[in-house]
Structure 1
Amino acid sequence: MKKIVPIRVIYADTDAMGIVYHTNYIRWFEIGRTELLREVGLVYAEWGGRGYHLPVIEAYCHYLQAARYDQVLLIEAGLGHVNRATVKFVYTIWDEAHKKEMAEGYTVHACINPQGKVIRLPWEMIEIIKRAGQE
């Protein structure tokens, strides 16, 4: 399953050169990932309340085209893989009007407890995440 979320570039997303500032792509990855997981029933806030957190331990973005103010982008998020303690999500950002690939990347997340210790993903969470990859 892939989740596609439209984003319109706002003025605050751009830098002095008039293009999207590079860190915004990572923020948009988070939006896509959050909506992908929400769609299959995994809401970050609920799992955090149960003591399971998924911080980013690795992030990568390959910038292919410069995005600009007022451009509509499509954030596509999907599952890369899941194992006992980590999960990887993959992303592609598209220009909606021209169907051009703007950026691609991934994030890797480790499951930790409230004390910051790496722990196994709970079985229920693994099943939900795997479902996101299969649908």
Structure 2
Amino acid sequence: MRAQNGTLPFVHHCRVYYEDTDAGGIVYYVNYLKFMERARTERLRCLGFSQSQMARENLLFVVHSCEARYLLPARLDDELLVSAEVSELNRASLRFHQQVRRAVDGVLLCEGQVLVACVRTDSLKPRAIPEALRTAFKVSGLSEAGE
């Protein structure tokens, strides 16, 4: 699994717990969005930006829109690999391309795109993504085509 620019993508490891599944032991569809949210949060943390620190600086990321395609089910106790790659970096938004794969065999289970908007914490009005964060994404492998 390589990013378009040849670098290895960011991957968050997680496990499927009983609370993530339906009565048949299969991951309930909306929980893939939770796994993706955690991967985006960990991607930011890996770049040195925690959600709590950004909130203190009047910056918040909110989901504007998302789409997901479910291919195969994850099941109770599966270890998952969840990617969070920025495919588009705009003045006040980021588009993530995300995949959820089963760790044991790398099989793609779910993939999606999530557009997150950068807003002010106090008013929820759009604000520009700070230059430090923009630079961190570029240094971590965002291709120029993603801008």
> What's the TM-score once normalised by structure 2's chain length?
0.84
Tell me by how many angstroms 1:133 deviates: 3.5
Residue identity matched to 2:18: Y
Distance 1:133 1:26 in 2: 24
- 2:126 equivalent to 1:115: no
Give the number of aligned pairs. 135
Counterpart position of 1:49? 56
Judge conservation of contact 2:99–2:111 (CA < 8 Å) in 1. yes
Q: How does 1:96-107 map to 2 (within 5 A)?
A: 96-107=103-114
Percent identity between the aligned chains?
Answer: 30
CA contact (8 A) 1:93 1:102 kept: yes
* Structure 1 residue corresponding to 2:79, chosen from 59, 72, 78: 72
Stretches of structure 2 lacking an aligned partner (at least 5 in a row): 1-7
What letter matches 2:64 in structure 1?
I
- Alignment of 1:3 with 2:10, yes or no, is yes
Runs of 4+ in 1 over 3 A off after TM superposition: 132-135
> d(CA) in 2 for partners of 1:119 and 1:100?
38
Equivalent in 102, 106, 118 of residue 95 of structure 1: 102
Deviations 1:20-65 (A, max 9, x none): 0111111100111111111111212111110011101111111110
Could you say which residue in structure 2 is the equivalent of 1:133? 141
- 2:28 corresponds in structure 1 to 21
Bigger RCO of structures 1 and 2 (CA < 8 A, at least 6 apart) = 1
Question: How far 1:98 sits from its partner (Å)?
Answer: 2.0
After superposition, the C-alpha distances for 1:78-123 in whole angstroms (9 at most, x for unaligned) are 1111111111111111111122111111211111112111122222
**Unaligned 5+ runs, structure 1:** none
SS in 1 for 2:119: coil
2:19 maps to a residue whose letter is A
What CA RMSD, in Å, does the superposition of the two structures yield over aligned residues? Answer: 1.6
